[in-house]
Amino acid sequence: MQYPRIGVGVLIQNEHGEVLFGKRKNAHGEGSWAFPGGHLEYGETPEACAHRETLEETGLSIENVRRITFTNDIFEAENKHYITLFMAGQSTGGTPRNLEPHKCDAWHWFPWGQWPSPLFLTIENLLGQPTAREHLELFATEARKVFV
């Protein structure tokens, strides 16, 4: 019997209001742009997962981590089903490094709302939720206050 997996996606904003995206490779969604993230481990909180995955993938530390929402993501071609927990946090500074080059081509900062294409299915689903857009805008506004 198959069960959905739990993924965590981390929307990270820097002091310039930019959002971090990586171009996926060698996995479902290859060639699409996604936030840092990965699988929630047994006994781990979503917040701890956000910190761990961000550090493992990019070498960046984040702060003010909070929950945004979740999506129900079905990758039909790959026969995969995920519940993705979206987290948000601010970068504490530094330049992202590609610490998992077998999974990601590179990390890039994009201005808020001027995000790359194509987006990973989980982010498309996130942006398709009216309440998620409100949460994201609130996060962006709060993040700008933190960096002022």
Give the model's pLDDT for residue 110. Answer: 97
Q: What is the mean pLDDT of residues 2-6?
A: 95
Residue whose tokens read 């959002």: 19
The pLDDT value recorded for residue 142 is 65
According to the model, what pLDDT value does residue 133 have?
67
For residues 92 and 95, give the distance between their C-alpha atoms in angstroms, rounded to a whole number. Answer: 10
- Residue 58 above 80 pLDDT? yes
Shortest CA distance to 55 belongs to which of 82, 18, 94, 24?
94
Structure confidence at residue 29 (pLDDT)? 92
Q: What are the pLDDT digits (tens) for 84-96?
A: 999 999 999 999 9
Going along the chain from its start, the domains and CATH numbers come out as 5-147 (3.90.79.10)
Residues 6+ apart with CB under 8 A from 67: 46, 47, 85, 86, 87, 88
pTM of the model: 0.90
CA distance 135 to 97: 28
Taking CA atoms, 8 is separated from 20, 99, 144, 148, in Å, by 15, 18, 23, 28
CA dihedral 117, 120, 22, 85 (to 10 degrees): 140
pLDDT class of 143 with cuts at 50, 70, 90: low
Residue 30 phi, psi dihedral angles, 5° rounding: -55, 135
Average pLDDT of the residues in 106-121: 95
* pLDDT band for position 147 (cuts 50, 70, 90): very low
Tell me phi and psi for residue 144, to 5 degrees.
Answer: -65, -35
CA distance 105 to 24: 6
